[in-house]
Amino acid sequence: MNATLASAAVVVRRTIAASAEELFDAWLDPEALAMWMRPGTIRSTVAKVEPHVGGSYEITMLGQSGPIVHKGVYRQIERPKRLVFTWASPGTELRDTLVTVDFVCVDKRTEVIVTHEQLPESAKSAHSIGWTRGLEHLDEACAQGLLK
């Protein structure tokens, strides 16, 4: 219970003898994803990736009882430091959750930190409000530009 009380997110770290760039790229390359996004009982994995902010991805793991589809949208792509994307799968009841991957250089190695959290409803609406406001500003800017 104490682990739950300490944090509402899953945080997993691993220090790997490779550069941040090499590791970062393995998250956005479909061929690489097919190789390492393949847990124990999965026979093969197929990945489709649109590697830009707002772009979507789809990772299909072929399990013994059929395909398991993982989907999401990239929210932040800061090569080679940080990658943020939503993650929905049968394991999350097809609800969007949020995965943040940080790449931190440690001497000649890189610490990869995965933080996986549930996406609060309030944050989701705040996010859409943010977008709407952004678009309004854009409209204003365009209108002002036209007036001048």
Partner 1 sequence: MGEYQSSRLDGVFNALRDPTRRAILARLTDADARVTDVASEFPISLNSISKHIRMLERAGLLRRSIAGRDHVLSLNATPLAEAQAWIEKYRRFWEGRLAALEHYVTNKKRKRE
Is 18 a binding residue for partner 1 by CB under 8 A? The answer is yes
Which one of 37, 47, 49, 83 is in contact with partner 1 (CB under 8 A)?
Answer: 37
- Beta-carbon contacts of 30 under 8 Å, excluding residues fewer than 6 positions away, are 46, 47, 48, 49
Is 126 a binding residue for partner 1 by CB under 8 A? The answer is no
Using the rule CB under 8 A, give the single segment among 50-58, 71-79, 111-119, 126-134 that binds partner 1. Answer: 111-119
Is 6 a binding residue for partner 1 by CB under 8 A? The answer is yes
Using the rule CB under 8 A, give the single segment among 18-26, 74-82, 126-134, 136-144 that binds partner 1. Answer: 18-26
